[in-house]
């Protein structure tokens, strides 16, 4: 899997965006999540990329934008420009494996608040959310809901074929949204809003990675 992150600044209205350059100071005007140019910062260190999540940005005549501190909860209630990490893929994306999802689900112990998610490699992972970092965690490409009941997590749930089929359907729909938008931490869509499963499978299998600059 060949991936890297760019840092995109996005206005509150979503009508203006900027891309951090390789000097890690200047920004160029861009379209949000567009393919990279050779001057763009291409970040492969996940800790570095995560350090940009949610940082406030201020317009500047010399550099285009200046990065400020990470925003607090109140900041997101105000208009402004914030930094977003955008994932770029230089290799094909897999179709998530249903059997792997079932294996993970069956291995979980009910009573613990688990988050089932897909990582950027398309693998199903379960996170014990006690004290875990969820917001800004760039390992989470697509996420479900946190659950602890044996009806939704664990061996009993894994044997519920109807529920597991629906959950997998939701996850591949979320995976397609992740691939087509480059957004991270995509929530799985509501089951009643889904298109046919074959639609998402065809889209995922036909998806093309970005060309290297």
Tokens 């089932």 — which residue? 116
**Percentage of the chain lying above the pLDDT 90 cut:** 86
Tokens 């998806």 — which residue? 207
Alpha-carbon gap, residue 140 to 120, rounded angstroms: 7
Q: How far, in Å, are 28, 30, 179 from residue 209 at the CA level?
A: 23, 20, 9
pLDDT > 70? residue 76:
no
pLDDT band, residue 73 (cuts 50/70/90)? low
Contact 176, 205 (CB under 8 A): no
pLDDT band, residue 14 (cuts 50/70/90)? confident
pLDDT band, residue 72 (cuts 50/70/90)? low
Alpha-carbon gap, residue 135 to 186, rounded angstroms: 11
pLDDT band, residue 74 (cuts 50/70/90)? low
């Amino acid at each position: 899997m060949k991936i890297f992150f760019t840092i995109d600044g996005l206005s509150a209205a979503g009508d203006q965006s900027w891309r951090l350059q390789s000097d890690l100071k200047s920004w160029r005007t861009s379209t949000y999540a567009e393919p990279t140019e050779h001057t763009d910062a291409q970040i492969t260190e996940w800790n570095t990329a995560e350090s940009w999540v949610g940082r406030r940005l201020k317009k500047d005549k010399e550099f285009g934008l200046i990065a400020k501190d990470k925003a607090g909860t109140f900041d997101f209630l105000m208009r402004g420009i914030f930094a977003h990490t955008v994932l770029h893929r230089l290799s094909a994306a897999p179709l998530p494996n249903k059997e792997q999802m079932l294996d993970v689900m069956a291995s979980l112990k009910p009573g613990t608040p688990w988050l089932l998610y897909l990582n950027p490699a398309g693998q199903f992972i379960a996170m014990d959310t006690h004290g875990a970092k969820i917001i800004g965690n760039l390992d989470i490409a697509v996420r479900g809901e946190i659950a602890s009941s044996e009806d939704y997590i664990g061996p009993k749930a894994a044997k519920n074929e109807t529920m597991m089929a629906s959950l997998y359907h939701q996850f591949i729909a979320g995976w397609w949204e992740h691939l087509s938008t480059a957004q991270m931490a995509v929530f799985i869509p509501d089951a009643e809003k889904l298109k046919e499963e074959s639609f998402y499978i065809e889209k995922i299998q036909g998806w093309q990675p970005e060309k290297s600059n």
